[in-house]
Amino acid sequence: MACLPCEAGVIRVWTFEPLCPFMESAPNILTGVLSREEVHAQVHWVYKGAPASSNEDWGRFLEVPGSVFFVEKGCIELAFENGQTVRCEAGDLFLGSRTVRNHRITAGSQVLSVGYDLMWATRHPVYAQGLNVRISAEARKANVAYRRLLTASLALLREFHPDRREVDFVTASHVPPSDAGSSIRQQLAFWNWFSRLHPVFELHGIAPDFPMARSAIVREVKDIVDRYPLSASFRDIAKKVELPVGWRRVQQLFQDELHQTPHDYFHTRRMDHARRRLRMRGVSVKEVAGELGFHSLSHFSDWFKKSSGLSPRQFLLGP
């Protein structure tokens, strides 16, 4: 079990074994690819009660794992880096991706929430597209898939917090480690929960992403890009690549398999680093700019804003 820092302190993270031992509890969409890939899961929290904080002003942008929550009381508003906002009221269901977002929460709000990661061995999320959607209370009542997900979420809560009908986020994030028997039950409960989440994903056209590189050329280029300093120029990286095919073919293969060019992949790594470092307390914008090879703070701010729609300082302050 690992730990994850957050505003509320340190969150305990349950890290489950690859999916293979629990195939009978897993959706067919995943068991069909296990001959090629391993799927890893982490549960960051399961709780039913008050969220981390009730703040009617927008907070800071924070990186969060995938999440599913049923709003039982109150109202939660979420804002994302691309300008999207989502308002969830009592009775609504929210399906969230691993992303960067901030929120404001009315006093007295309560949710039933599961925070999790489901990843390929490459650490890419199994589900990355089509999420961050609200399902209204009316729509929830109209389809049995949502009711089954609610039932499975309550069962998961009971497995992680026996003998407790309610537990808030802060308490749920600091529970002691489980014994071996409980851990196995929790893993089985998680895959049972996910088997109820998957049909909900299907209702919304949310399908797994398969980012694993099949081509040896793509794997080699990806490894080079992964090893290169983030302060480097991508032109320098491209010059270092010596392959039996031309660069145009490399870009085509990369695009076909990973759905982005090598340049875009390197850019994503740099942006992820910038967001992560900017969210750390005591780290200045100037420091982050330097780590990424920018000698001018204004050039870094322009680059960051072009990519995210927000300047570094707006990113920290929220909407």
pLDDT of residue 176: 58
Task: List, for the chain, all residue ranges whose pLDDT scores fall below the cut of 50.
Answer: 1-29, 31-37, 319
Judge contact between 79 and 101, C-beta under 8 A.
Answer: yes
Q: What is the C-alpha separation between 14 and 114, in angstroms, rounded?
A: 12
Q: What are residue 152's phi and psi, to 5 degrees? A: -65, -35
Domain 2-203 grouped into CATH 2.60.120: yes
Nearest to 318 by CA among 66, 68, 78: 78
- Rounded to two decimals, the pTM is 0.63
- Residue pLDDT, tens place only, 270-287: 988 888 788 777 889 999
Q: Which residues of 241-273 are buried (b: 16+ CB within 10 A; e: fewer)?
A: eeeeeeeeebbebbeebbeeebeebbeeebbee
For residue 167, the 8-state DSSP code is B
Question: Would you state the pLDDT for residue 108?
Answer: 92
Question: What pLDDT is attached to residue 211?
Answer: 60
At 94-139, the pLDDT tens digits run: 999 999 999 899 999 999 999 999 887 666 788 888 899 999 999 9
Q: What is the pLDDT of residue 246?
A: 84
- Distance (Å, whole) CA 304 – CA 67: 26
Domains 2-203 and 216-317 share a fold: no
Domain ranges of the chain: 2-203, 216-317
CA distance 162 to 164: 6
Exposure string of 23-42, with b = 16+ CB inside 10 Å and e = fewer, is eebbbeebbebeeebebbbb
- pLDDT of res. 281: 75
Candidates 1.10.10.60, 3.40.50.740, 1.20.140.10, 3.30.360.10; CATH matching 216-317: 1.10.10.60
Q: Which pLDDT belongs to residue 7?
A: 34
